[in-house]
């Protein structure tokens, strides 16, 4: 049911990724547009410095519906990109559907698909995206289960493997690169441009290496707070030019939409520096440093994609742990797919029973209003009981076999066939909509009382109808 469409550092270069970013103000509109598509029923959007992806749920788990849903997501992203002026991004989009989409979700949450394998920031970003989608009403039962499971998988990866051992983040890689450039950082003048989470991580590492710290940020209060925490000096934004003159290395990580450091600014700074080299490590997306700055003499710019060689070196020592993590993700993906296939089968069984019972009850109602209208109430109740028994007997073998095939690779085809033969597609959707409505609004008082008396297992709660059918069948 899940489809994933988007791009990341694996498919798209930085100049493409920075054109397709979706900030908080735009996400609500994007989610609404996605849910306006009839093929989609749930959606969330993750947009970070290394990826912009939509995770959506198709109306059914049929292969054809998943393909249609994925194409609709692609169209929505293409429309958003065009309106935002993000030309040339759609050819980099990659699509994952069904089991492949679940595996991708679990790998992203576990930081196995990150530029820096094992970095912890992506999990927080995924949780933020999940909360944003929930606040916009675009998360239902299936996506909530999938995201909750993804967070569980990420926790297992971090606790059961050493994939995140040591300092593992984009900021730590940036400082590693700084160390490679200068060797000993003791006494070196570093300038943090920006004072967010990545800047804070970089500040901690730079100071630990003995570097002197300057902080320049749009918010002077935040700049002062960060500088004070790490024994540095905060400078107002208006003194950025002078801060460039004094720095040996600049770590840029603002959330600005356009370049913060222009070629002209660096030309002025280099005149005052009298030939001393200046290094920029730009870990912002969109980039903070104009790309032509790298063309100046004695000026060197490393952006987030240039960190890949440093990342490769750090990854070699964690390769075995990464393989363990991948194996764990594969097992969790298989387990989730088994649950998802069982969920689809459960809905089909409930719909099939409802359809058959409604047909028999309708015929009985006609008879009771006609030739059998003379029957007393006790006989009418007996006929109702007979219909229940007939439904159980008639559907015992089909429902048993459908349930037995829940984990079979052909389960979705079987469900599709049953839906077609008995015209169940619309009824199955209504049942799923009712379940989602009950989850969002809470059960009625009589349903709560029934739930209190039922088993506490979440699996039992998710499949009340088949469990009831089993009891009825066993009682015959």
Question: Which are the catalytic amino acids?
Answer: 49
Q: Kindly tell me the burial class for residue 222, based on how many C-beta atoms sit within 10 Å of its own C-beta (0-12, 13-18, 19 or more).
A: middle
212/224 Cα distance (integer angstroms): 15
* Helix (H) / strand (E) containing 278: strand 278-282
DSSP letter (8 states) at residue 218: S
* Greatest CA separation for the chain: 109
Sort residue 194 into left (φ over 0), alpha (ψ -120 to 50) or beta. Answer: left
Q: How far apart are CA 56 and CA 73, in angstroms?
A: 8
CA dihedral 284, 290, 294, 298 (to 10 degrees): -100
Q: Is 26 helix (H, G, I), strand (E, B) or coil?
A: helix
Place of tokens 């065009």: 82
Cβ-based neighbours of 125, under 8 Å, separated by 6 or more: 46, 48
Please give the Cα distance from 445 to 424 (Å, whole number): 29
Q: How many CB atoms lie within 10 A of CB 266?
A: 24
Per DSSP, the residues of 148-192 read: HHHHHHHHHHHHHS-TT-SS-SHHHHHHHHHHHHHS--TT-EEEE
Radius of gyration of the chain (CA): 29
């Amino acid at each position: 049911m899940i489809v994933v469409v988007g791009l990341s550092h694996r498919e798209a270069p930085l100049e493409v990724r920075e054109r397709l970013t979706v900030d908080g103000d735009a996400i609500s509109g994007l989610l609404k547009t996605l849910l306006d598509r009839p093929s989609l029923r749930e959606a969330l959007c993750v947009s970070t410095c290394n990826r912009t992806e939509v995770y959506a749920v198709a109306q059914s788990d049929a292969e054809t519906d998943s393909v249609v849903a994925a194409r609709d997501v692609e169209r929505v992203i293409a429309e958003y990109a065009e309106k935002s002026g993000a030309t040339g991004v759609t050819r980099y989009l990659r699509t994952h559907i069904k089991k492949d989409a679940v595996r991708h979700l679990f790998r992203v949450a576990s930081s196995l698909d990150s530029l820096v394998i094992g970095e912890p920031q992506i999990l927080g970003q995924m949780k933020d995206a999940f909360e944003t989608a929930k606040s916009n009403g675009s998360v239902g039962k299936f996506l909530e289960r999938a995201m909750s499971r993804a967070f569980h998988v990420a926790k297992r990866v971090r606790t059961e493997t050493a994939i995140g051992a040591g300092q593992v983040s984009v900021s730590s890689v940036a400082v590693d690169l700084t160390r490679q450039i200068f060797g000993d950082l003791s006494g070196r003048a570093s300038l943090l441009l920006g004072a967010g989470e990545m800047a804070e991580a970089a500040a901690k590492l730079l100071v630990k290496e003995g570097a002197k710290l300057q902080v320049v940020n749009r918010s002077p209060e935040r700049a002062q707070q960060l500088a004070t925490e790490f024994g540095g000096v905060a400078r107002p934004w208006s003194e950025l030019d002078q801060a460039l003159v004094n720095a040996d290395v600049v770590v840029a990580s603002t959330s600005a939409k356009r370049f913060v450091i222009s070629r002209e600014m660096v030309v002025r700074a280099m005149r005052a520096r009298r030939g001393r080299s200046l290094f920029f490590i730009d870990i912002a997306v969109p980039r903070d440093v104009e790309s032509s700055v790298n063309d100046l003499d004695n000026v060197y710019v490393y952006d987030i994609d240039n960190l890949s060689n440093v990342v490769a070196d750090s990854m070699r020592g964690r390769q075995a742990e990464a393989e363990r993590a991948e194996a764990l993700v594969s097992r969790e993906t298989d387990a989730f797919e088994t649950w998802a296939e069982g969920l689809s089968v459960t809905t089909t069984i409930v719909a099939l029973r409802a359809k058959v019972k409604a047909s028999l009850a309708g015929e009985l109602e006609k008879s009771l209003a006609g030739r059998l209208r003379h029957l007393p109430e006790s006989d009418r109740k007996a006929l109702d009981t007979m219909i229940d028994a007939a439904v159980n007997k008639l559907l015992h073998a089909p429902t048993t076999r459908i349930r037995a095939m829940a984990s079979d690779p052909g389960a979705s085809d079987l469900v599709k066939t049953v839906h077609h033969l008995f015209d169940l597609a619309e009824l199955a959707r209504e049942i799923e909509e009712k379940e989602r409505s009950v989850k969002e609004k809470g059960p009625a008082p009589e349903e709560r009382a029934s739930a209190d008396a039922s088993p506490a297992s979440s699996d039992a709660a998710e499949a009340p109808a088949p469990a009831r059918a089993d009891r009825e069948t066993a009682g015959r």
